[in-house]
Amino acid sequence: MLDYKKAIGEIIAKELPQLSFGEIKEMIEIPQDSKMGDYAFPCFRLAKELKKSPQIIAGELAEKIKGDIFEKVEPVNAYVNMFISKETLGRDTIKSVLEEGENYGCSNLGEGKTVIVEFSSPNIAKPFHIGHIRSTVIGNSIYKIYKALGFDTVRINHLGDYGTQFGKMISAYRRWGNKEDVEREPIKTLLGYYTKFHEEAEDDPSLEEEAREIFAKLEKGEPEEVALWQWFRDESLKEFNRVYKMLDIEFDSYAGESFYSDKMPRHEEELEKSGILVESRGAKIVDLEDQGLGVALIKKSDGSSIYITRDIAAAIYRKETYDFYKNIYVVASQQSLHFQQLFAILRLMGYEECADGCVHVPFGLVRLEAGTMSTRHGRVVFLEDVLNRAVEKTKEIILEKNPNADNVEEIAAQVGIGAVVFNELSNNRIKDYTFKWETVLNFDGETGPYVQYTHARCCSLIKRAGEDVSSKAEALGKSGEVRYEYLTSEGAHELIKLLYQYPQVVIQAGEKYEPSVITRHIVDIAQAFNKFYHDEHIITEDDNEKLAKMSLVIATRNVIRNGLQLLGVKAPERM
Ligand code: ARG
């Protein structure tokens, strides 16, 4: 695709030998207000060297900047404002979108580099609740974005499947457990045992001691303990997998905390040798006070390993196994200190390169509006229930709009679940937000259903125009032979501009680890399309006009579909 910034940079570079091409390209801006042009070049920096006012420089430069790609070049104060020819932009953009199809927005930026995206990572035998949706959905989208940018990707679910709590769980199961109950409803049942354990342990501290001993046996690999633990893990995973299936999310590896249990001794030795490990009341710690990161507990006084130790082993293992370029942890912002400590310790241990590639991608909390949903499972809101509820509610909305709608089940699933996912990815991830059904399922707001509906509208236009017209429009678009003069209205131009920017938006989303950049952009595309749709007659009598407009409709459909795909949201053709 033609990169206008680059093309403009080359033109300006010829006129300004005192600046390098790279500097010039950096300086080119995209004005907030499109009345100020598609691109602008500020001249402040040149004033000193040229001994002229920036206004005068802008005036002189504007005279010299010429080329077919421009419709207009004009100086405004200290800026040279440049307007790209609408027809050129239309032709280039529609051609790229249609030629590249599902790959429009993809690139090979990441060729030869491996990126690990660790996300979701729920804890075994604990509820997969509404709070987990964030890591799951944000992580999945970041994975898709990096894949689209050409990186080799590895999705890791770092399951919380280890730790002293498993001693408690086993002890509780042996006391009060029942196999059938666990199999019927694993997480709820196991959680019940675990809660009971804590209640009983308040009166009888020997329970804690027993749990510690059991965990020690588990760490040693005693078969009975291992078998129970394995069973809890398998049963919990069955439940998690139901949710992953609903969200259409997969992982390449489920190497969770337990996977590192036999890999820790080596690193504990390294830590000992490095001299950074110190004794403190029987426990082993690393003092990071001088970096403002407090103290990290590495080994408890009873010798059992803990969370951060397993993370040290995991990071090093990943570096050695995948030689990652980036190792991205999509984990709540509450764990920021944990990751800062982890990365600092890796450096102190001499694993600089490993630490350099590690990135914590934090996110804020989800709050629930009071009374948002009733919970079958007590106070915890299970993600599965939320997704099911979304599908039910969507079904009601669809049937209300169209009592004879067919294929309702499938569409309601795509729209309902899509709505929850899209909502999740609508705001900057670091912000806390409140989950509200009215916002999530609003078909007219800046929501998933609205964008999906716009996509379906494009699909229905394509059908309505007829197979002949649509395929001809696509062919002409691909060969750059559409009559672009029909696509120069304000509305069409705004839409084309957004389609043109899309590949850059994907790159930005990747750089910032921020899927919401894409979410917002496709909302803008949907809004621009709907304006175009309402303002203009698309399937007109005039064949050339109809073909031109349909090529834009097809291009819009493609970009919305590609964007939704990167968010992990389905794009149904009918709604
Ligand atoms: N299981 C943890 C939790 O639910 C999240 C794991 C985050 N990943 C990591 N490598 N520490 O809080």
Please give the distance, rounded to the nearest whole angstrom, from the Cα atom of residue 335 to the centre of ligand 1. Answer: 8
Please state the atom number of ligand 1 nearest to the C-alpha of residue 314. Answer: 10
Please give the distance, rounded to the nearest whole angstrom, from the Cα atom of residue 155 to the centre of ligand 1. Answer: 14
| 105 neighbors 562 (Cβ within 8 angstroms) | yes
102-139: pLDDT as tens digits: 999 999 999 999 999 999 999 998 888 887 899 999 99
Interatomic CA distance for residues 376 and 156, integer angstroms: 30
Interatomic CA distance for residues 258 and 364, integer angstroms: 27
CA-based nearest residue to 316, from 248, 268, 379, 244: 268
pLDDT of residue 266: 93
Which positions are catalytic? Answer: 126, 129, 132
The two structure tokens encoding residue 320? 């050695």
pLDDT of residue 131: 78
pLDDT of residue 1: 56
Interatomic CA distance for residues 362 and 429, integer angstroms: 7
| 267 neighbors 277 (Cβ within 8 angstroms) | no
| 475 neighbors 533 (Cβ within 8 angstroms) | no
Q: Which of 138, 157, 158, 162 to mutate to test the pocket of ligand 1 (most atoms within 8 A of CB)?
A: 158
Helices (H), 432-515: 437-440, 448-465, 467-479, 490-512
Angle at 261 between CA 327 and CA 138, to 5 degrees: 30
Name the packing angle between helices 408-424 and 383-401 (round to 10°): 120
- 181-to-122, 186, 190, 193, 255 alpha-carbon distances in Å: 21, 7, 9, 11, 27
Please give the distance, rounded to the nearest whole angstrom, from the Cα atom of residue 295 to the centre of ligand 1. Answer: 19
pLDDT of residue 301: 85
Q: Report, as ranges of residue numbers, the positions in the chain whose pLDDT lies below 70.
A: 1-2, 370-379
Helix H, strand E, coil C: the string for 318-361 is HHHHHCCCEEEEECCHHHHHHHHHHHHHHHHCCCHHHHHHEEEE
Interatomic CA distance for residues 535 and 540, integer angstroms: 13
Please give the distance, rounded to the nearest whole angstrom, from the Cα atom of residue 160 to the centre of ligand 1. Answer: 6
Please state the atom number of ligand 1 nearest to the C-alpha of residue 159. Answer: 1
Please state the atom number of ligand 1 nearest to the C-alpha of residue 342. Answer: 11
- List the residue whose alpha carbon is closest to atom 1 of ligand 1: 160
Total length of the chain:
575
- List the residue whose alpha carbon is closest to atom 5 of ligand 1: 121
- List the residue whose alpha carbon is closest to atom 11 of ligand 1: 311
Please state the atom number of ligand 1 nearest to the C-alpha of residue 331. Answer: 7
Question: Cβ < 6 Å from ligand 1: which residues?
Answer: 118, 121-123, 158, 160, 311, 329, 331
Lay out the sheet containing 152-156: strands in order across.
Answer: 152-156, 114-118, 326-330, 358-361
pLDDT of residue 276: 93
Residue 285 CB-half CA count within 13 A: 14
161-175: pLDDT as tens digits: 998 889 999 999 999
